[in-house]
């Protein structure tokens, strides 16, 4: 029997996103992810001719199969399932919905591939491609800060001009948890070169909202803008590996672990709530050591006939 409710899916989603913003105080970036996931679910239901009040576990399995056929990564699928599981939990409390069809759907097993990271020479190659105009100085600062601090791109774009004091940067992370990260010498120099140009953009008509990173019009730079510019430099470099803003975060953590940094300190600098999330970089560090051994030690090299 269909569950009777007076709330449409659009109304329920709108109320749920308001709850996430005003009660749970989630960041705009996180809420945007929830909105995208829920919109994808709405469109899929529409294509299948299903109604959200009547969705059951069979419907959920169909949605999961569709995501699998689209070759989505396990992390993307799991994030979407988590979003919908949370939404239906809320709907069971706030509407006439009686059950959560996502409650018994298990998350996919995460793939074991190690995160992509940049070597020092690859990073320097990207930096060398930046120009001597406003965009060039800004882009150099963006890459230096991502590499120096390990910030997420959303955290970087949310920085205000006064978020930086000396070599310390005050960052608002996930769950509105604040932490301090640090600028290296190269990042500090890039900041000093960029700030006069940045401030020149706000002299007449300030559209920045106090943001540190601005686009050519003087408005705050968006996450999408950073993705675009990193992709541009990656294409110009001719590197075979796929590079995005998160690659700099992986590179930051990998470098620290490889140099012997305590994993709990790395966890703190990355803003991870769980140590298990940080532990992937210990495997990355071990792999780098293994590669050095293979390349440098005479008995580490692979001989002909070895399996």
Catalytic residues: 152, 174, 246, 249, 272, 281
With both helix axes pointing from N to C terminus, report the angle between 134-149 and 185-200 in degrees, rounded to the nearest 10. 140
Which residues is 79 bridged to in the sheet?
none
Cβ atoms of 22 and 114 within 8 Å: the answer is no
Cβ atoms of 225 and 135 within 8 Å: the answer is no
Handedness of CA 37, 39, 40, 46 (dihedral sign): positive
Residues in the chain: 307
Q: What is the distance, to the nearest Å, from the Cα of residue 39 to the centroid of all Cα atoms in its chain?
A: 20
Task: List C-alpha distances in Å: 181 to 99, 123, 199, 273, 281.
Answer: 43, 20, 23, 16, 18
């Amino acid at each position: 029997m269909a569950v009777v409710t007076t709330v449409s899916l659009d109304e329920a989603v709108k109320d749920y996103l308001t709850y996430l913003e005003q009660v749970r105080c989630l960041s705009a970036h996180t809420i945007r992810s929830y909105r995208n996931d829920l919109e994808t679910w709405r469109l899929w239901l529409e294509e299948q001719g299903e109604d959200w009040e009547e969705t059951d576990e069979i419907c959920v399995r169909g949605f999961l199969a569709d995501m699998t056929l689209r070759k989505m990564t396990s992390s993307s699928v799991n994030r979407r399932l988590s979003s919908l599981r949370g939404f239906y939990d809320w709907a069971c409390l706030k509407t006439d919905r009686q059950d959560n069809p996502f409650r018994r759907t298990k998350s996919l097993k995460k793939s074991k591939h190690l995160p992509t990271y940049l070597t020092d020479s690859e990073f320097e190659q990207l930096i060398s491609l930046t120009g001597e105009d406003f965009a060039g100085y800004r882009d150099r600062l963006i890459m230096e800060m991502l590499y120096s601090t390990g910030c997420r791109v959303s955290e970087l774009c949310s920085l205000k001009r006064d978020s930086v004091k000396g070599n310390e940067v005050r960052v608002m992370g996930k769950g509105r948890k604040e932490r301090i990260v640090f600028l290296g010498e190269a990042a500090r120099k890039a900041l000093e070169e960029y700030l006069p140009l940045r401030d020149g953009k706000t002299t007449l008509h300030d559209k920045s909202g106090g943001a540190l990173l601005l686009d050519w019009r003087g408005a705050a730079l968006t996450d999408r803008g950073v993705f675009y510019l990193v992709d541009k430099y990656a294409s110009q470099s001719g590197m075979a590996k796929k590079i995005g803003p998160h690659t700099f975060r992986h590179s930051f953590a990998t470098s620290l672990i490889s140099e012997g940094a305590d994993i709990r300190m790395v966890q703190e600098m990355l803003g991870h709530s769980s140590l298990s999330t940080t532990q992937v970089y210990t495997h990355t560090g071990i792999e780098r050591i293994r590669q050095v051994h293979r390349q440098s030690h005479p008995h580490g090299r692979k001989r002909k006939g070895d399996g």
